Homo-oligomer: A and B are copies of this chain.
Amino acid sequence: MVQYSAHLDRSFAAVADPTRRGVLERLGKGHASISDLATRFDMTLTGMKKHVQFLEEAGLVTTEKVGRVRTCRLGPRRLDEEVRWMANYRETLESRLNHLGEFLERTRGKAP
């Protein structure tokens, strides 16, 4: 009955945190190191590492370590599936509201 999608579970959980949403927005403008991100979001390096790891496990961020610097970029996933789910959900709602509207239109003035 439940359409299970591990992708959706992980990515919605990933964007359920304001710092992680902020990191995605920041990386949307260009790559950044973990220490850049920690400074920007006024957070310890350890705290930021955890957030980045969560995003990485959700497939929303990739990281690459060169020397002592770990650089973060968006990808490989891009919230396409999540947007699709929300769009479908809203379509169901819209169509239900339209049906209700049509019904009210049809039955207007038909009361005895």
Contacts and interface: CB of A to CB of B under 8 A. Distances in A.
A52 interface: no
What's the number of copies of this chain in the assembled complex?
2
A33 B69 CA distance: 54
A32 B29 CA distance: 44
Interface of A: 1-5, 8-10, 12-13, 15-19, 21-22, 24-25, 28-30, 40-42, 74, 78-79, 82-83, 85-87, 89-90, 92-93, 96
B12 A12 contact: yes
A29 B85 contact: no
Interface of chain A, helix or strand or loop or mixed?
A: helix
Given A90-B79, A96-B29, A16 B12 contact: yes
Most interface-central of A19, A29, A92 (chain B CB within 10 A)? A92
A2 B28 contact: no
Contacts of A92: 25, 28-29
A94 to B, nearest CB: 10
A25 B90 CA distance: 9
Nearest to A74: B93
